[in-house]
Structure 1
Amino acid sequence: MSSRERRPNSSTGRRPSGSGSSRPAPPEGDGAPQDVGMAEEPVAAAPRAPMAVGRSLEITTTPDVCMEMLVDKLKLLDYERDFCKKKKPYRKPLSRLYFAVQDSSGQGTQFFYFASLAAWLLSLAGADGGAPKEFDDPNATCNNILNGCKKLGFAPPNYHPSKLSTGHGREICGVLDGLADYVLERRNFTYRKPLYMPDGYQDEEGGDVDEADAGGMEGDAATEFPKPKYLEEEEEEAYMMGNGAQDAALGPPPPGHQASPAPTMAEEKAILASKVDPTAWKMEVERVAPKLRILLNADAKDWRSHLEEVQQHTKSISTVWPESRTVLEKLRGELDTSLDKLQTRERFLNDQFDRLMQQYRGARTSLGTVQGSYNARTEAISERNSELHRITEQLSEMKGVMDEHSTNIADATPVVRIKNAIKKLAEELHEIEVRIGVVSHTLLQLSVKNKRALQAQAAAMSDEEDDT
Structure 2
Amino acid sequence: AAWLLTLAGVEFPAPKEYDDPNITCGNLLNAVKKLGFAPPSYHPTKLTVGNGKEVVGVLDGLVDYVLERTRHTYKRPQYSPQDGQDLDLGAEDEAETAAMEGADEFAMPPQKDGDDEEEEEGVFADPGRDGAGAGAGSGAGIDSEKAVLVSKVDPTLWKIELERVAPKLRITIAADSKDWRSHLDEAHQHKEVINKAWPDSKQSLERLRADLNSTLEKLQTREKFLNEQFEGLMQQYRASRTTLTDVQETYNRKTEAVADRNSELHRIAEQLEEVKAMMDEKGSNIADATPVARIKTAIKQLNKELHDMEVRIGVVSHTLLQLSLRNKRLLQAQAALSDEDED
Q: Which has the greater radius of gyration?
A: 2
Shorter-chain TM-score bucket reads 0.3 to 0.5
Higher relative contact order (CA 8 A, sep 6+): 1
Report which of the two has the higher share of helix: 2
